[in-house]
């Protein structure tokens, strides 16, 4: 069964004073490549990145943040764990398919940030990213491999 393309659009209704605005957003737009950021609404700090699929990257970031395994320890421990997911938003900064152009745009956006307002400009990144594993069995004995938990910065 084929689902019509229009079924993957959402309508956003914005109310400003007495004015009501409606905007249709095509969810397929977010499967494109580009540069994005995660913004903390409490302190306006940003984490900037690029991806070949913005939707996939957003899901991965928030999955890692919610499970406390994100590579940016400052973003994870200092802000996300403190404020919670309600105070973070994912923003698309630019759509770009070409990898080299995306990397240049990502670096440009990072360079434009003040050091105390950009998670990327700190050296609190986890170098040993967590490894996903499953339980294994050796000679009938079951073993569980534990994930590497990030250390506090």
CATH number at residue 104: 3.40.1440.10
**Best-predicted range by mean pLDDT among 7-11, 71-75, 133-137?**
71-75
List pLDDT tens digits, range 62-89: 999 998 888 888 898 889 999 999 999 9
Looking at residue 131, its pLDDT comes to 47
- How far apart CA 94 and CA 34 sit, in angstroms, is 5
Residue 9 lies in a domain: no
Residue 7 lies in a domain: no
Burial 81-104 (b: 16+ CB within 10 A, else e): eeeeeeebebeebbebeeeeebee
- How far apart CA 76 and CA 117 sit, in angstroms, is 15
Averaged pLDDT, 48-58: 91
Residue 15 lies in a domain: no
Q: Is the whole model's pTM more than 0.95, yes or no?
A: no
C-alpha closest to that of 59 among 83, 27, 81, 82:
27
Residue 49 structural domain: 32-143
Residue 23 lies in a domain: no
Residue 5 lies in a domain: no
In the sheet where 34-40 sits, what is the strand order? 46-51, 34-40, 88-95
Count of the separate structural domains present in the chain: 1
Residue 110 lies in a domain: yes
Residue 19 lies in a domain: no
Which residues sit opposite 89 in a β-bridge? 39
DSSP code for 76: I
Residue 92 lies in a domain: yes
Segments of 61-119 assigned E as strands: 88-95
Q: How many other C-beta atoms can be found within 10 angstroms of the C-beta atom of residue 51?
A: 18
């Amino acid at each position: 069964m084929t689902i019509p393309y229009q079924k993957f659009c959402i309508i956003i209704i914005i109310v400003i004073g007495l004015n009501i605005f409606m905007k249709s957003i095509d969810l397929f737009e977010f499967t494109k490549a580009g540069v994005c950021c995660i913004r903390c609404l409490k302190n306006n700090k940003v984490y900037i990145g690029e991806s070949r699929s913005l939707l996939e990257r957003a899901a991965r970031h928030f999955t890692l943040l919610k499970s406390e395994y994100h590579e940016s320890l400052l973003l994870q421990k200092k802000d996300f764990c403190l404020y919670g997911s309600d105070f973070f938003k994912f923003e698309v900064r630019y759509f770009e398919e070409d990898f080299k152009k995306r990397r240049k745009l990502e670096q440009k956006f990072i360079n434009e940030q003040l050091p105390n307002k950009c998670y990327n400009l700190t050296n609190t990144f986890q170098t040993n990213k967590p490894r996903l594993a499953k339980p294994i069995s050796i000679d009938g004995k079951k073993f569980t491999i534990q994930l590497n938990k990030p250390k506090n910065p």
